[in-house]
């Protein structure tokens, strides 16, 4: 979904809050932790988001119109 699609389908106050969050967010690298400490994340970002959304649905914290497909 593009930003324009998201903004079009989201109430203005929520879209603005999301934009402000994204605009201020920083991207950090784990390269140094990987090189020095052998760090490896336990989840890939997409898998972590999917797991979180499934948890929210399962615990009735997020209502969805149909089954989650992923």
Q: Tell me the residue range of the domain where 58 lies.
A: 41-70
pLDDT above 80 (res 6): yes
> In terms of domains, do 51 and 30 share one?
no
pLDDT for 70 equals 67
> In terms of domains, do 2 and 31 share one?
yes
> In terms of domains, do 13 and 33 share one?
yes
Work out the angle at residue 24's Cα, subtended by the Cα atoms of residues 45 and 20, and round it to the nearest 5 degrees: 100
> In terms of domains, do 3 and 24 share one?
yes
pLDDT above 90 (res 61): yes
Instruction: Report pLDDT digits (tens) over 8-45.
Output: 999 999 999 998 888 887 778 999 999 999 999 999 98
> In terms of domains, do 31 and 2 share one?
yes
Place of tokens 């797991």: 51
> In terms of domains, do 13 and 35 share one?
yes
> In terms of domains, do 20 and 10 share one?
yes
Going from the C-alpha of 15 to that of each of 22, 33, 67, the distances in angstroms are 10, 34, 25
pLDDT-derived band of residue 50, with 50, 70 and 90 as boundaries? very high
Q: What is the pTM of this model?
A: 0.49
């Amino acid at each position: 979904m593009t930003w324009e699609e998201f903004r079009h389908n989201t109430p203005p106050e929520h879209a603005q809050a999301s934009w402000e969050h994204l605009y201020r967010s920083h991207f950090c690298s784990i390269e140094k932790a990987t090189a020095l400490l052998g760090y490896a994340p336990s989840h890939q970002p997409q898998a972590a988001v999917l797991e979180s959304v499934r948890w929210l649905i399962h615990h009735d914290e997020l209502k969805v119109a149909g089954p989650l497909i992923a």
